[in-house]
């Protein structure tokens, strides 16, 4: 061990979080309709598998892109040889156009401000390396994606200070919560370098309101710090209110020529909107030329392959396809989310009203044995080991209230979701029966105790009466 680095031997990666532990249990006993029908159903993975038929249909109709041909001539050698880490111009152009299309073309993006990375994980960490270091802090509203503890902190040395949000207002950010987090960082002798938000939110599945976005812009302007908007779920908004990008807010407020313009950065990825996490395609968009230059140099440690860029540049440049895909993706996500919500309701469970993402923020507080995080973990373990559903407990997302869980719905078939809901309903019914039996027993004991005390009191009174006589 003495020959290894401190990074290897420290335990700050976050792998021991219940978020990751649930995955490990799933991998030991994964559900399969035929081979393992009693296995654990994976509902902790935010993956979009609802539109693969559209992607595969496009691939079948565009064999040249798949076989790396241009005008029927092979370009395999061209793609296989060394490529500049700035990325293929054609792909960067197709990507920024797709980002604009998702946002209703209310904003446009310049390829010179775009840095390609191997997924959003790499994009967020690269931004942290550009903005912060040991002794610095980033403010994050709770609940937040558990992977941020790894992505933002593990190698950079920066710290996360939570912005405490509550269910009383749907977990929206408030000015007082922002200020409290800023003051908490200062009490810890940490220099606040910025605020990071996910919009739409992971794990809430909600879009940020215009008021929240304005509040954030005002806050980072006043504190002279950065704002990172992780918008990797921007193409999953399936109902109102519509998604509003932070870039749209800056444009509407005419802040292009101000200092805050260069301190706002956007993270994007094709992992959620196109359902391609295995392709490892992410991006940083920044108006600060120094950040762009530095992030581009750092991107050499996590490049997107030229073959991937070529294939996706052809796909995203097909405007007829992207328009159809975005529309059908929204409809399918909404339909699937409705099925999850309906299934939960039949089990007597509600969730936060949502309009985006690949998951719901589910309220199971009424199923806790007590209002504690210990009770939440007890419930979570029963759901994983007994019910055989891997869901993510709110404590892994740093939620301040026990009893909330993130439940994913887009990474499985409709039949598998139906089975998951049947399992959950049976479990809730068994808890209700157990609780009722327990309550009946308590009531019976209380009733018997009351009768016993009454009889004892009556007997004591009778004895006294007899004695006095």
Tell me the per-residue pLDDT of 177-211, one tens digit each, with 9 for 90 and over.
999 999 999 999 999 999 999 999 999 999 999 99
Sequence-ordered list of residues with C-beta below 8 angstroms from that of 320, at least 6 positions apart, any chain: none
Can you tell me whether residue 196 is helix, strand or coil? strand
Which of 31, 145, 268, 325 does the annotation list as catalytic? 145
DSSP structural state of residue 391: -
Cβ neighbours of 90 (radius 10 Å): 15
Q: How is domain 53-321 classified at the CATH fold level?
A: 3.40.640
User: Which three-class secondary structure string do you get for 59-71?
Assistant: HHHCHHHHCCEEC
Closest to 208 (Cα-Cα) out of 192, 229, 223:
229
DSSP letters for 129-160: HHH--TTEEEEEESS--TTHHHHTTTTT--EE
In this prediction, residue 452 carries a pLDDT of: 42
Is 228 noted as a catalytic residue in this protein?
no
What does pLDDT average to in each consecutive run of 10 residues of the chain (469 residues)?
A: 72 67 89 95 95 95 88 81 85 96 94 96 95 96 94 93 97 97 97 98 97 98 98 95 96 94 97 92 96 94 90 96 96 97 96 96 96 96 96 95 97 96 95 57 51 45 44
Is 232 noted as a catalytic residue in this protein?
yes
Is 40 noted as a catalytic residue in this protein?
no
End-to-end Cα separation, the chain, in angstroms:
89
In this prediction, residue 4 carries a pLDDT of: 79
DSSP structural state of residue 303: P
Is 406 within 8 Å of 203 (Cβ atoms)?
Answer: yes
> What is the location of CATH 3.40.640.10 in the chain?
53-321
In this prediction, residue 10 carries a pLDDT of: 65
Which of 173, 232, 246, 349 does the annotation list as catalytic? 232
In this prediction, residue 67 carries a pLDDT of: 86
Rounded to the nearest 5°, which phi and psi values hold at 393?
Answer: -70, 145
In this prediction, residue 446 carries a pLDDT of: 56
In this prediction, residue 436 carries a pLDDT of: 52
Is 106 noted as a catalytic residue in this protein?
no
6-52+327-427: which CATH architecture?
Alpha-Beta Complex (3.90)
In this prediction, residue 115 carries a pLDDT of: 97
Which of 272, 284, 325, 349 does the annotation list as catalytic? 272
Share of the chain above pLDDT 90, in %: 78
Distance CA 217, CA 361 (A): 26
Q: Kindly report the CA angle at 245 between 130 and 401, in degrees rounded to 5?
A: 80
Which of 97, 149, 230, 288 does the annotation list as catalytic? 230
Statement: the pTM of the whole predicted model exceeds 0.85: yes
């Amino acid at each position: 061990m003495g020959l290894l680095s401190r990074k290897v031997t420290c335990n700050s990666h976050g792998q021991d979080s219940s978020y990751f532990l649930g995955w490990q249990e799933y991998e030991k006993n994964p559900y399969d309709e035929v081979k393992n029908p009693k296995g654990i159903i994976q509902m902790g993975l935010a993956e979009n598998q609802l539109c693969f038929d559209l992607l595969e249909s496009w691939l079948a109709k565009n064999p040249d892109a798949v076989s790396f041909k241009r005008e029927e001539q092979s370009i395999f050698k061209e793609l296989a040889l060394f490529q500049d880490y700035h990325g293929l111009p054609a792909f960067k152009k197709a990507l920024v156009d797709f980002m604009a299309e998702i946002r209703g073309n209310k904003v446009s993006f310049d390829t010179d401000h775009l840095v390609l990375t191997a997924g959003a994980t790499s994009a967020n960490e690269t931004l942290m390396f550009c903005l912060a270091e040991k002794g610095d802090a980033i403010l994050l509203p709770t609940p937040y994606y558990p992977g941020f503890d790894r992505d933002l902190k593990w190698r950079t040395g920066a710290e996360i200070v939570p912005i405490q949000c509550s269910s009383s207002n749907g977990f929206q950010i408030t000015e007082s919560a922002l200020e409290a987090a800023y003051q908490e960082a200062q009490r810890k002798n940490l220099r606040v370098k910025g605020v990071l938000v996910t919009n739409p939110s992971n794990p809430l599945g909600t879009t940020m309101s215009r008021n929240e976005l304005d509040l954030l812009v005002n806050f980072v302007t006043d504190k002279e710090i950065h704002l990172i908007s992780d918008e990797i779920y921007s193409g999953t908004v399936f109902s109102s209110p519509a998604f509003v990008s932070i870039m749209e807010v800056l444009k509407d407020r005419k802040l292009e020529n101000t200092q805050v313009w260069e301190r706002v950065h956007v993270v994007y990825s094709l992992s959620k909107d196109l359902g391609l996490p295995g392709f490892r395609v992410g991006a940083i968009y920044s108006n600060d030329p120094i950040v762009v230059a530095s992030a581009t140099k750092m991107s050499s440690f996590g490049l997107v392959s030229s073959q991937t860029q070529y294939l996706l540049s052809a796909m995203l440049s097909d405007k007829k396809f992207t328009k159809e895909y975005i529309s059908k993706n929204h409809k399918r996500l909404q339909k699937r989310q409705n099925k999850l919500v309906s299934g939960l309701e039949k089990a007597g469970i509600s969730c936060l009203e949502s309009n985006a993402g690949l998951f719901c923020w589910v309220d199971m507080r009424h199923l806790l044995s007590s209002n504690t995080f210990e009770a939440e973990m007890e419930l979570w373990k029963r759901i994983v080991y007994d019910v055989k559903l891997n869901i993510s407990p709110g404590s892994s997302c740093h939620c301040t209230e026990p009893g909330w869980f993130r439940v994913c719905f887009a990474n499985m078939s409709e039949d598998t979701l139906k089975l998951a809901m049947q399992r959950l309903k049976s479990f809730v019914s068994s808890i209700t029966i157990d609780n009722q039996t327990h309550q009946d027993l308590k009531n019976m004991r209380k009733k018997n105790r009351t009768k016993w005390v009454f009889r004892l009191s009556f007997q004591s009174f009778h004895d006294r009466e007899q004695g006095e006589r």
